[in-house]
Structure formats: C-alpha cells, structure tokens
Amino acid sequence: MPAPEVAGVVLAAGPGRRMGLPTPKLLLPIQGKSMLAWVLELVEGLPLGERVLVLGAQAPALLAALFPGQEVPPAFFRGGELRARRAGGAWRVLYNPDWPEGMGASLRCAARAVPGGMLVFLGDMPYVPLEAARAVLARAGAHPVAPAFRGQRGFPVYLPAALRPALLELRGDVGARNLLSACELLPWDHPGVVWDVDCPEEAKEGACAGGPSPR
C-alpha cells in the first residue's frame, strides 16, 4: 500500500492522571519541547496521506499549546473536528467525547474519520525513533505491523483498512490488542518503541539516555 493511502493517527485523549501534575502530562517539557510536540514532529516527518490527532480530556490546553491562535468552534467539543496547521504541516483534529472509556474509544473515533489504513502513535511516547516509524510504514499492506523491542510489541502500529469494521466496535481500554494476533513484528533494538512516559522521572531518564531521536 502506498504511504499516501495511510493516515498517521496520534491518540492524545486521556486525562494523564498518573503524573499528578497541575498541567497536562502531554505538555511536560522534554529538551525544550512538550512531549506531545515531539510526537507530532515525528509524524510530520513521514510521507503520509493525512495526519490525525485525537483529543479528549485535555483538549483546550493541548490545542492552545500546539496550535496557538487556532479558532475552535463550540461544536468541536461535541464530537466534531477541525483543521489546524503547525510549522510541520496540516492536521485534522478530532474530539473524542467518549474519552473516559479509554483507548478503544479513541481508536473508534479515528476509524470513523479514516477510511483507509492507520499508522497509530501514542501521545506519551516521544522516544519512538523516526527510523522505526519509517520501517513500519514501509511494510504497510494487508496485515497489521509493529516494531518490537525484545519481543514486546510497541508503537507505532499499522492497522490496515480491513480492520476498520472491528475498530468501529471497540469498547473499553484494551485498544486494538485483541485484533493483532496476525501482527507482523519488526525487531527493533531501541526501547523507545515501547517506552511510554508515565512520570516526570521517566522523562528525565529519557533525556539522559539521549532524548527523542532527531526528526
């Protein structure tokens, strides 16, 4: 499948409560940029058909930080979408009103908006190497694909269009894991493909280990 037929999808709808911070977890600064900004830059560096960002619990703060000056109509917060632009390119931003359900609801929201294959990223994984994302995208086709670090499946995960009917039925916080029995795993010797940041200390550890890969 040519890359232009694949949408890059970033899931960033969760509340991020585990950090106990006064500001959204995804805005935690890492080497001068927010965690989520690193992820968006990663997606912006790939040859994709479109870029989709799914927001929820922290939508107002994230929009203000990532797209300064962006006009947001009230309908957006009722499950709508808007078109926004950053220096790295254009984004289609979706609001997931069912974000309390968990990741399944965000994937369902994305699947409603994207008719083709999706390359799915998590907003709290800023250490995914660009090369790993490119390798997964290069294998996009009829079956799911993901990188794996020491046998553990990571991100980004490519979800083919054939999985869309099942994605539209997802419920709960299990994400798409039950749909990935036939997933092709690409061995990757970098823990960034499985490393999600759940506390400020982990962000500091990642910075000490070299930080996000160059975009």
Which domains, from first to last, does the chain contain? 3-208 (3.90.550.10)
pLDDT score of 182? 87
Beta strand pairing status for 6-12 and 50-55?
parallel
CA separation for the pair 201, 174 (Å, rounded):
26
Nearest to 13 by CA among 25, 28, 30: 25
* Mean pLDDT taken over the chain: 90
26 touches 64 (CB < 8 A): no
Q: How far apart are CA 154 and CA 193, in angstroms?
A: 5
Q: What is the mean pLDDT of residues 96-123?
A: 96
What does the alpha-carbon distance between residue 27 and residue 33 come to, in Å, rounded to a whole number? 8
* 102: CB partners within 8 A, 6+ apart: 14, 172, 173, 174, 175
Mean pLDDT, residues 77-83 taken together: 96
Which pLDDT belongs to residue 41? 97
Task: State the DSSP string of 128-182.
Answer: --HHHHHHHHHT-SSS-EEEEETTEE-S-EEE-GGGHHHHTT--SS-TTGGG-TT
User: pTM for this structure?
Assistant: 0.92
Per residue in 144-162, pLDDT (tens digit) is 999 999 999 999 999 999 9
CA dihedral for 94, 155, 178, 24, sign (positive or negative): negative
pLDDT value of position 178: 83
